[in-house]
Each structure stands twice: as structure tokens, then as C-alpha cells.
Amino acid sequence: MRIFLALYVFAIVATVSILGFRGSNSTKPPLEVFPDMDRQARYKPQAENEFFSDGRNDRPVPAKTVARGNYFNQAEVFSAGFEDKTLGDTAFNQGKAADGTFVKTVPIEVSHELMAEGKAKYDIFCTVCHGAAGDGNGVTKPYGVLAASYHDDRLRGVEDGYIFDVITNGKGLMLPLDGSISPEERWAIVLYVRALQRSQHANAKDLSEAQRTELGF
């Protein structure tokens, strides 16, 4: 009896599914579950808008907006003397030499300010997966999202341009960051990663005599 009832219900559902949901023409308006979403108030670009005091519909970029896709200051770009000095610089923009190989070292001037900027950006974009020490022990590890340790011999031996390329284009589960941080900021992160690697493999000979004396070596 149960089998018969199951087959009966299945036959009804199949019949309704095949015949009942077929498309048909209708002159009636479609059913609107959320009318305010289907028919929203819209304003055309560059049209007037009485809501704002200046009457403009297009709004200026809010202060401290993070740029996506480009990193130029708008005032500089639209000034008469603007010149993109990095245009065509593959080493700076891609981490690669003209022959397509990765550059071995950071192609911009290294400074304490650049190192500090690298740490700040690393803390924001990298620590969550790679960990504060760069050992891959980020907060995502317990959830199965594993990140590389910068202290592996393989990554200690790669070119600076390779690390820059991974930051730019992503690798594996890591998403690309080229739309979030500028090339200079990416090089700053590379510099800080190198500092993290050095911190785990340093010795007293790396310090100056004054530093060794201060530390009691």
C-alpha cells in the first residue's frame, strides 16, 4: 500500500511539473514581490538632483576613499605637468626584467619609511593567513586555509620579483592584491617579508660592533 501511495504521489508531482509549469502568454502584469526593488527611483548621470545642496547627481569621491585599479592622485593626474614616470617600467610594475625573468632585488630605494609601510600593509593584508612572523600560522590555519611559510628554504631563495608577482597576481587560494595596494606598497611588503626571513636566520655577525656591545655579545 505504501509503495502504491508513493507511486501515486510521484505521478501527480511529475504531471504537475511537466504540464503545470509550462510557459504561457499573459496580458496580466507580472507578480512583483518587492515593487520598490523592481521600480527604483533612478537618476541619469550628470542629471540634476534636488536632494543635494549643489544640485548635482554625480557625487565627488568621499575623503579617504581607497583607490581600486589605479593609484594616482586625481589632482596630480589632471594637472598640466603630470607625468607617469613608472609607465613601461616592468621591474617596478611587474617585478620582471625586460627578458621576463624576475628581478633579484627591490627596484626602488630602500628606507626605514618603506620598511614601516611594508609592516603596516603586511599587518593588514598578510598576517591573517601568513601569521605575524611569516611562518604560516595565521588565524585561518585552524579552519583549513593553509598559507606558505616565508621561512621555507624555497621561499628564502626566490627572487624579490617572484614575491612581488605573487602579491600582485595571487597564487593558489591567495587572491591578487593588485587592485588593493599600489606597486610601491607591494615592494614595501616584499622588503618587510625579507626582514622577517632575516629575523629568523640572523646571527651576531649581522650586527654592528656597537649593536653587539649593547646586546652583550
**Residues 72-81: pLDDT tens digits?**
666 666 677 7
* 84, 85, 88, 91: CA torsion to nearest 10: -130
Residue that wins the pLDDT comparison between 91 and 83: 91
Q: Which residue from 157, 164, 168, 165 is spatially nearest to 197, judged by alpha carbons? A: 157
Q: Which residue from 167, 121, 119 is spatially nearest to 147, judged by alpha carbons? A: 167
**Residues 135-162: pLDDT tens digits?**
999 999 988 888 999 999 999 999 999 9
Q: Kindly state the average pLDDT of the residues 190-208.
A: 87
Q: Any idea which residue has 624555497 for its cell?
A: 154
Residue that wins the pLDDT comparison between 48 and 205: 48
Structure pTM? 0.63
Mapped onto helix, strand or coil, the DSSP state of residue 200 is helix
**pLDDT above 80 (res 5):** no
Residue 106 banded pLDDT, cuts 50, 70, 90: very high
State how far the alpha carbon of 6 is from the alpha carbons of 1, 10, 13, 163, in Å: 9, 6, 11, 61
The answer to whether domain 90-202 has CATH 1.10.10.10 is no
| pLDDT attached to residue 72 | 61
| Ramachandran region, residue 70 (left: φ > 0; alpha: ψ -120 to 50; beta: rest) | beta
**pLDDT above 90 (res 166):** yes
> Cell numbers of 23, please?
510557459
Residue 196 in contact with residue 163, Cβ under 8 Å? Answer: no
**Residues 122-134: pLDDT tens digits?**
999 999 999 999 9
